Amino acid sequence: MRKIPATMATQHPDNSRPTYFSNRRFVAANDEVEECYRCFSELGVQEFMWDWEGKFVDEAVIDRLYNGYHDYFQKHPIGKDLFLTFRVPNVWIESNHKLPRSLMGLLSAEEAAKTYKFYGPPLFEIILPMTTKAEQLIYLQKSFKRIAAASKDFFDVKSKLDFINVIPLFEEFSVMENCQEILHGYVNFLKEEYGYKPPYLRIFTARSDPAVNAGFLPAKMANRLAVHLYHEFEEQTGIKVFPWVGGGALPFRGGINPENIDAVVEEYRGVSTVTVQSAFRYDYDLPQVKAAIKRLNEEIPKNHKKYVKLTKEEVETVKKFNKAAADFYRPVIENSADIINKVADKLPGHRERVQHVGLFGYSRGLGKVQLPRAIKFTGALYSLGVPPELIGSGRALKYAKEKGMLDLVMKLCPYLKADFEHAGHYLNRENLDFMCKKNPVWEKVREDIQLIEEVLEIKIGPTKTHQIIHRNFTSNIFHKMNLGEEFDEDILKAAEIRKSLG
């Protein structure tokens, strides 16, 4: 059985501070090879995501790593001890011109490994973002087979890869709930096409996009449900599953940061891999980052079979709760898209992204609301002094309490009080009061805050000096925006205080 990495570094641009190795916040595509090497050799990360989705990418990554850091990778071979994994474009959403290049990159990496006399094949897995059905996974498998055959015919490229491991990345609630059908469909294809039953599957679950689409609590609950369903699939088929969670540093996007490792280990039970994104790596002190990654590498593998099993009744309760909670959250976001986008436009981009076409994941009335990507969405609301964790959550907790669901919510989210206290430290009540006067929909958020405090018996608001300074910066942002003045510097200073752009 190959090694399953416990930690994966990603290129998500959520850092507010400069990287420790370049002293720049912006990480250009030509800096990412060095970043990858440093994540392996200095931070102790076991896997690195090479992201083709929505960004520019260095296609010669394996050649550059082997050529630039030959001695290190001779001792720590990629594909055996360390792993580099492509996240490929979803051709049903994004332009398909990069997909053939990414798949060809797997084959050329294998040739590079031969040239350098390294272990191979170094690359054998790809991640498909926004997976919604088995046919997409099948399409990628067939596409790779055709490209491999053509490479052999035209260029005499002989690969050990008869097929590749296609990792679905589930990002929508309905898809997570239907994950077993998708997995069964893909496994049946492998049996029929190759006569092959995979010994294991890696399955990736998003935390950020579900939160943007339906709110903080539904995203947490859906993640726990998905992990249960993955392990149930293992019991049904005998195929080992290794679940994977992609989360950012702030609670809204997953709460995976160096100061929160105890909660990460506990809450992500049953998960085999977690992401350590840019804010995790660059917004905290370097010794703390290294120690946190070391602990995750040690503890996450012990968690594999410790997931929370759910009864059929509990599964249905989670689905019912998530639907109700999303209905509390969505109208606030839908009716606040203008101010969210206005602030998000001022948040800096710290990677070389190409334009991303994304829509808020639900329809209402006259159409769909367009929102920024998850990092800027989260950062915009924090910059306004209204952390998105609070939106819809109070009314959702009240609903759970009235319907007898609260015990299940607390069972699946044992660090819920700490999450709300963390996010609540960055609340600016004065800004919220002003926003209520301009747009009555924000009155619902004021109600949410009161209900969170009542149901969980906590107090929300800044308590420490740096949190009060953050509040002051968000006041600057709000009032400068209304005056038509620039507030870029205030946005960045506030982000540095909370240790994440968004």
Which tens digit of pLDDT belongs to each residue from 120-150? 899 999 999 999 999 999 999 999 999 888 8
344, 131, 388: which is closest to 248 by C-alpha?
388
| Amino acid (1-letter code) at residue 420 | F
Separation between Cα atoms, residue 189 and residue 285, nearest integer Å: 47
What is the pLDDT, as a whole number, of residue 364?
Answer: 30
121: left (phi over 0), alpha (psi -120 to 50) or beta: beta
Residue length of the chain: 502
**Phi and psi, residue 245, nearest 5°:** -120, 130
What is the pLDDT, as a whole number, of residue 359?
Answer: 39
Separation between Cα atoms, residue 126 and residue 481, nearest integer Å: 42
What is the pLDDT, as a whole number, of residue 368?
Answer: 65
What is the pLDDT, as a whole number, of residue 357?
Answer: 41
Of all residues in the chain, what percent are helix, strand and coil, respectively (each to 5)? 55, 10, 35
Low-confidence ranges of the chain (pLDDT < 70): 153, 155, 353-368
**Phi and psi, residue 402, nearest 5°:** -65, -30
Tokens 């809204």, residue located? 252
205, 167, 22: which is closest to 83 by C-alpha?
167
* Domains of the chain listed by start with CATH number: 7-303 (3.20.20.60), 319-498 (no CATH)
pLDDT one-digit tens code per residue, 151-163: 776 767 777 787 8
Rounded to the nearest 5 degrees, what angle is found at the Cα of 501, between the Cα atoms of 340 and 282? 170
Tokens 């968000």, residue located? 474
Spatial neighbors of 71 by CB under 8 A, at least 6 apart, are none
What is the pLDDT, as a whole number, of residue 29?
Answer: 87
* H or E stretch at 312: helix 312-334
Neighbours of 370 (CB within 10 A): 11
H-type helices in 413-464, by residue range? 416-424, 429-438, 443-456
**Phi and psi, residue 256, nearest 5°:** -95, 95
